[in-house]
A and B are shown apart, each in its own frame.
Chain A
Amino acid sequence: MNTKRYELDDADLHAWVDGRLDGQARAAVEAALAADPDLAARARAYIDQNHDIRALYDGIASEPLPDRLRPARIAAMQRRRRWLVPVAASILWLAVGLTGGWLAHDRLADFGVGGATRAMAAEAISAYRVYAVEKLHPVEVGVSDADHLMKWLSRRVGYAMTAPDLSPLGFALVGGRLLPAADGEAAAQLMYEDASGRRVTLYVSRNDSGQETAFRYQEAKGVGAFIWLEPDFGFAIAGDLPRQPLLEVSKIVYEAFEPTH
């Protein structure tokens, strides 16, 4: 045995902990550990950390993948959008004004969309929770004034809105209202109801994050919401419905708002 005290390099200790050392280097670390119980206890603790972290999180890697995380599906969505974006952008830039819109887009373009979709989901769900339970005044303007309603909301929100037809799913338009959104912007909420009194809302507000995204699902306090972000506007379908029927509603609305329609 080597009697000379070995000056252990910290990097070697970690390499040994991670099983990255062979031969002489490995033997040298082991000799140092044998000579120093405190060091050995530290090494042991580090090995335990690796093991424990894997035990905590390894199972996630074998969970079934949700559709929204399938690359082929995301790619298909993006291919489709490539057609839509130039059309949508040319229309919207006229409305929004080149300078401000483009600067905002440029400044924020590199942020992830997680925060933006979560914020929008929170607003849409909160608005749903406030107004969907209303018996007397669920909407500001009722369906009898639908033309006026859509013109008004379109003007205030800056998006040419139509009320998508949800009758194939048994939902009829009740009406809509204007809502405050972030930074003094206005957002629109349209409310639909089915024969059993279940309500879903369509929420539209500006999307200044510069990001686009496919459908995302979020839930809070029993209210679910599908959200998607277009270049300048974000959309949310919120409802006290199971996920699948809510997705059906979202698909219809998404189709209805394609610029080509």
Chain B
Amino acid sequence: MELQRFADQLEKWVPNLRRYARALTRDAVQADDLVQDCLERALSRQHLWRADGNTRAWLFTIMHNIHANDTRRAGSRPVSVQIDDRDGHHSHPPGQTSRIAGMELAAAVERLPVEQRQAILLVALEGMSYAEVAETLGVAQGTVMSRLSRGRERLRRAMEGEGPALRVVK
């Protein structure tokens, strides 16, 4: 059945959406809200989905639009409330990774302009091709490359600027 097939298609990408949303927002609750918003919107726009299209790029585009709107709204109406900060921002078991290095990296990523953050995360986490990143973000591939370049350089300086280079050890 078409709807079942559609839901299956979406479910396959939910772990990816969650991972990316967590990296984008660094807040477990906010990230899952973002994913839920994204799925609700995708399901209500099934008529725009194409079985032969790039479902992942489509979903990530929807999520970016929602995130951009949420961010804009939070900026214009300062009502956002931190509901719960107890959930860990980092998924790794403490024993395997240097928590301090991880937090510094996550914080440095968060300080990047959002469009640079998106480009870096889509490539690093999703392993998207540059063309796919361009499709997802609705920009030219050259723009993706320059965002990637500026973002990575900025991140490198941020990490090097904070004393001895800390690495996340896997």
Contact = CB atoms under 8 A, between A and B. Distances in A.
B92 A59 contact: yes
Given A63-B91, A69-B18, A56 B106 contact: yes
Contacts of B14: 65, 69-71
B69 A60 contact: no
A72 B1 CA distance: 13
Contacts of A45: 152, 156, 159-160
Contact of A66 (B32, B66, B80, B129): B32
A218 B83 contact: yes
Contact of B145 (A11, A62, A113, A125): A11
Interface of A: 10-11, 14-15, 17-18, 20, 42, 45-46, 48-63, 65-66, 68-72, 74-75, 78, 110-115, 117-119, 121-122, 125, 182, 213-214, 216, 218-220
B12 to A, nearest CB: 9
27 contacts: A10-B145, A17-B152, A45-B160, A46-B152, A49-B124, A50-B124, A52-B102, A52-B167, A52-B168, A53-B105, A53-B121, A54-B124, A54-B125, A55-B169, A56-B105, A57-B22, A60-B19, A60-B91, A62-B15, A65-B15, A68-B36, A69-B18, A72-B11, A110-B65, A110-B69, A111-B66, A214-B36
Nearest to A110: B69
A125 B84 CA distance: 12
A51 B10 CA distance: 27
Contact of B73 (A61, A111, A216): A111
Nearest to B166: A52
B135 interface: no
A118 B91 contact: no
A14 B30 CA distance: 31
Interface string B149-170: 1001101100110000001111
B33 interface: yes
A27 B94 CA distance: 39
B97 interface: yes
B74 A49 contact: no
A-B pairs with lowest CB-CB distance, top 5:
A59-B91, A114-B33, A71-B10, A61-B15, A112-B66
Given A57-B125, A72-B7, A112-B33, A118 B83 contact: yes
Contacts, number: 183
Chain B interface mostly:
helix
Interface in B95-152: 97, 101-102, 105-106, 109, 120-121, 123-125, 129-130, 142, 145, 148-149, 152
B43 to A, nearest CB: 5
A110 B90 CA distance: 30
A58 B39 contact: no
Contacts of B52: none
A55 B170 contact: yes
A53 B125 contact: yes
Interface in B1-16: 3-4, 6-8, 10-11, 14-16
A165 to B, nearest CB: 30
Contacts of A20: 129-130
Interface core residue of A54, A57, A61 (most chain B CB under 10 Å): A57
A61 B12 CA distance: 11
Contact of A114 (B15, B34, B106, B168): B34
A117 B33 CA distance: 9
